[in-house]
Structure 1
Amino acid sequence: MINSLILVAAGSGSRMQASLNKLLLTCEGHPLIYYTLKNVFKSHLLSELVIVTKPEERPVFESIVSSIPHRVKVLFAQGGEDRAGSVKNGFSLVSKDSDKVLVHDGARPLVDGETIDEAFQAISEENPAVAVGVPCIDTIKKVEEGRIVETPERSSLFRAQTPQGALTGLFQRAVDFLARGGTFTDDASVLEKLGVPVQLIPGKEKFFKVTTPEDMERLGQMLRKDRCPFRVGQGYDIHRFDDSRPLHLGGLKISDTGGLLGHSDADVLLHAIMDALLGACGLPDIGHYFPDTDDRFEGADSSRLLAEVKEIIENEGYAVGNIDSTVIAEKPKLAQYIPAMKERIAGILDISPMDVGIKATTNEKLGAVGRREGIAAMASAIVFRRSN
Structure 2
Amino acid sequence: MSVAVVLVAGGQGRRLGAAEPKAFVMVGGATLLEHALRRVLTASEVSHVVIVAPASHLEEAGAITSRSARPADVDVVAGGSERSASVAAGLAALRRDDGIVLVHDAARALAPAELVSRLVHEVRSGHPAVVPGLPVTDTIKQVDADGVVVATPDRAALRAVQTPQAFLREVLQHAHASGAEATDDAALVEAAGGHVRVVPGDALAFKVTTPDDLALVERHLTQG
Residue-by-residue CA offset, 1:109-156 (whole Å, 9 max, x unaligned): 111111111111111473111111111111111122223221110111
Specify the alignment match of 1:65 in structure 2: 65
Counterparts in 2 of 1:172 and 1:191: CA distance versus 1, 3 Å: same
Q: 2:212 aligns with which of 211, 214, 217?
A: 214
**Do 2:34 and 2:64's aligned partners in 1 also have CA atoms closer than 8 Å?**
yes
Distance (whole Å) between structure 1 residues aligned to residue 115 and residue 163 of structure 2: 10
What's the CA shift for 1:221? Answer: 1.8
Distance (whole Å) between structure 2 residues aligned to residue 158 and residue 200 of structure 1: 8
**Do 1:49 and 1:72's aligned partners in 2 also have CA atoms closer than 8 Å?**
no
1:139 aligns with 2:151: no
Residue-by-residue CA offset, 1:171-222 (whole Å, 9 max, x unaligned): 1101201x2xx33110000111112111112111221100111211121122
Specify the alignment match of 1:33 in structure 2: 33
Instruction: Could you list the structure 1 runs, at least 4 aligned residues long, displaced by more than 6 angstroms after superposition.
Output: none
Distance (whole Å) between structure 2 residues aligned to residue 5 and residue 107 of structure 1: 15
Amino acid across the alignment from 1:100: I
Q: Which runs of 5+ in 2 are unaligned?
A: none
Q: Which runs of 5+ in 1 are unaligned?
A: 227-388
Amino acid across the alignment from 2:173: Q
Counterparts in 2 of 1:122 and 1:72: CA distance versus 1, 3 Å: farther
Specify the alignment match of 1:55 in structure 2: 55
Specify the alignment match of 1:361 in structure 2: none
Specify the alignment match of 2:194 in structure 1: 196
**Do 1:47 and 1:72's aligned partners in 2 also have CA atoms closer than 8 Å?**
no
Residue-by-residue CA offset, 1:52-91 (whole Å, 9 max, x unaligned): 0122312212222222313761111111010000011110
SS at match of 1:211: coil
Distance (whole Å) between structure 1 residues aligned to residue 196 and residue 203 of structure 2: 21
SS at match of 2:164: strand
Counterparts in 2 of 1:71 and 1:52: CA distance versus 1, 3 Å: closer
Amino acid across the alignment from 1:165: A
Distance (whole Å) between structure 1 residues aligned to residue 105 and residue 65 of structure 2: 16
What's the CA shift for 1:95? Answer: 1.5
Distance (whole Å) between structure 2 residues aligned to residue 167 and residue 55 of structure 1: 28
Specify the alignment match of 1:165 in structure 2: 166
Counterparts in 2 of 1:113 and 1:125: CA distance versus 1, 3 Å: closer
> CA RMSD for the aligned pairs?
1.6
Specify the alignment match of 1:19 in structure 2: 19
Distance (whole Å) between structure 2 residues aligned to residue 152 and residue 23 of structure 1: 34
Distance (whole Å) between structure 2 residues aligned to residue 150 and residue 23 of structure 1: 36
TM-score when scaled to structure 2?
Answer: 0.94
SS at match of 1:185: coil
Q: How does 1:1-388 map to 2 (within 5 A)?
A: 1-70=1-70, 73-124=73-124, 126-144=126-144, 145-177=146-178, 179=179, 182-226=180-224
Distance (whole Å) between structure 2 residues aligned to residue 124 and residue 44 of structure 1: 15
Percent identity, aligned pairs only, is: 34
Amino acid across the alignment from 1:168: R
Counterparts in 2 of 1:222 and 1:213: CA distance versus 1, 3 Å: same
Distance (whole Å) between structure 2 residues aligned to residue 203 and residue 191 of structure 1: 19
Distance (whole Å) between structure 2 residues aligned to residue 74 and residue 225 of structure 1: 29
What's the CA shift for 1:19? Answer: 2.0
Distance (whole Å) between structure 2 residues aligned to residue 95 and residue 123 of structure 1: 19
**Do 1:8 and 1:103's aligned partners in 2 also have CA atoms closer than 8 Å?**
yes
**Do 1:130 and 1:198's aligned partners in 2 also have CA atoms closer than 8 Å?**
yes
Work out which structure has the larger RCO, using CA pairs closer than 8 Å and 6 or more positions apart in sequence: 2
Distance (whole Å) between structure 1 residues aligned to residue 93 and residue 186 of structure 2: 20
